[in-house]
């Protein structure tokens, strides 16, 4: 069966917007919902023998950050990220039909073969959010077997890779159990699902670079799912991101808490205006292949993110002394050695070192000699731009 989700459900997800600033975003998203596959209700029938599928999906690193949410997983501003390749989650999903409709969701999760009951509540919350679009979830049991290629305690958020991999599994099942979808529709729907599990997960579906959030300069962009960036210079297709693991373990402040601090923040309006401007700049920069402008904007965005946390109420410092040391060494290498090396930061102490493939050898030698001693246990991960989610 196929039914469109009502307008009221879409408006609820969008949340309360300022009438003068955001009403157009609302109308755009509602219009897209009428046109596209991703907002349809799909009530498939699970085969008697069950369904088994597996996908991998990478993490991503935002260049223009989103920080602040509205409604149900709606970004306060558009963001753009590079899709990684080595830091990824591999997920196998086994679904079996149930003979009765459950009020709850029958979910079992395994990480590296070990049953993880503490992962179940987040998956159930995710299923509850997508249930209006996937009502079959109350009529089946779901076993999830997942593995991260990066250390679980590394401080790298696995929610983006994990939720996007699981979303691809769900949409693959929908397609192969009777729902007609082309590749674009499949990715858009998976991205829509992934957003409801973790906002940044919506961007991990696509190769090279992705935009999540409606922005006038990105024609097909939406608050409800991410889209691939269309015009990207070849230099960024092979761009490198070496992750310096300054501090391993869970972040001191969750993303949920961080986003909530933007409500009533004294500088939130200026920040959102800055993000809109930077998205426009980045579109031009990435089409031209301007590495210097790209790196400069990435660094400014990273420092702005942390500045917002330091000026919030309550306020937090998310980086560590060695984070600052790494940044200073990167600046010195750029000034004194002429290396095209830049950085960005996530909402923690780790540093993402960004550089083009043409200088990979020299930059990686610099990282090994100068930056690795700043990492916990000398640990860092060499990653680069990748091709997004895929079946395994």
pLDDT for 259-277, tens place per residue?
999 999 999 999 999 999 9
SS3 category, 144: strand
Average pLDDT across the chain, whole number? 90
332: which 2 tokens? 């010195």
Burial 266-299 (b: 16+ CB within 10 A, else e): eebeebbebbbebbbbbbebbeeebbeebbebbb
Cα-Cα-Cα-Cα dihedral sign, residues 161, 167, 171, 177: positive
Looking at domain 240-390, does it have CATH number 3.30.70.890? yes
Return the domain boundaries, the chain: 2-234, 240-390
80: which 2 tokens? 């753009």
Domain range 2-234, CATH architecture = 2-Layer Sandwich (3.30)
| Alpha-carbon distances of 40 from 131, 203, 297, rounded to whole Å | 11, 20, 38
Q: Are 171 and 190 in contact (CB under 8 A)?
A: yes
Q: Quote the pTM value.
A: 0.90
Could you list the pLDDT tens digit for every one of the 392 residues in the chain?
A: 334 444 444 445 545 444 444 555 555 455 555 456 667 899 899 999 999 999 999 999 999 999 999 888 999 999 999 999 999 999 999 999 987 666 789 999 999 999 999 999 999 999 999 999 999 999 999 999 999 999 765 667 689 999 999 999 999 999 999 899 999 999 999 999 999 999 999 999 999 999 999 999 999 999 999 999 999 999 999 999 999 999 987 677 788 888 999 999 999 999 999 999 999 999 999 999 999 999 999 999 999 999 999 999 999 999 999 999 999 999 999 999 999 999 999 989 999 999 999 999 999 999 999 999 999 999 999 999 999 999 99
């Amino acid at each position: 069966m196929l039914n469109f989700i009502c307008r009221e459900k879409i408006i609820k997800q969008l949340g309360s917007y300022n009438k003068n600033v955001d009403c157009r975003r609302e109308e755009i998203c509602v219009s897209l919902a009428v046109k596209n596959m991703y907002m349809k209700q799909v009530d498939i029938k699970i085969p008697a023998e069950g369904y088994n599928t597996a996908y991998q999906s990478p993490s991503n690193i935002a260049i223009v950050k989103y920080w602040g949410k509205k409604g149900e997983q709606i970004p306060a501003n558009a963001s753009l990220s590079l899709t990684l390749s080595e830091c990824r989650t591999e997920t196998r999903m086994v679904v079996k039909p149930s003979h009765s409709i459950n009020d709850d969701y029958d979910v079992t999760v395994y990480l590296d073969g070990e049953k993880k009951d503490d992962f179940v509540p987040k998956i159930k919350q995710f299923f509850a959010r997508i249930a209006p679009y996937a009502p079959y979830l109350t009529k089946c049991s779901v076993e999830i077997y997942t593995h991260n290629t990066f250390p679980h305690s590394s401080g790298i958020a696995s929610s983006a890779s994990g939720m996007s991999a699981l979303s691809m599994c769900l949409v693959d099942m929908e397609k192969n159990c009777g729902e007609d979808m082309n590749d674009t529709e499949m990715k858009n729907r998976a991205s829509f699902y992934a957003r409801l599990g973790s906002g940044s997960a919506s961007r991990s579906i696509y190769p090279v670079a992705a935009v999540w959030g409606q922005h006038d300069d990105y024609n097909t962009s939406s608050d409800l799912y991410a889209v691939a960036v269309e015009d990207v210079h070849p230099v960024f297709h092979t761009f490198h991101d070496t992750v310096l693991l300054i501090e391993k373990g869970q972040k001191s402040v969750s993303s949920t808490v961080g986003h909530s601090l933007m409500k009533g923040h004294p500088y939130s309006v200026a920040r959102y205006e800055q993000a809109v401007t930077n998205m426009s700049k980045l579109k031009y920069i990435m089409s031209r292949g301007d590495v210097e402008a790209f790196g400069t904007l990435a660094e400014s965005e990273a420092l702005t993110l942390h500045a917002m946390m330091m000026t919030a109420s309550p306020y937090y410092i998310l980086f560590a002394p060695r984070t600052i040391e790494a940044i200073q060494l990167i600046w010195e290498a750029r000034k004194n050695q002429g290396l095209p090396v830049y950085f960005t930061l996530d909402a923690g102490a780790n540093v993402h070192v960004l550089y083009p493939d043409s200088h990979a050898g020299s930059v990686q030698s610099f990282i090994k000699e100068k930056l690795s001693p700043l990492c916990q246990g000398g640990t860092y991960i060499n990653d680069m731009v990748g091709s997004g989610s895929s079946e395994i």
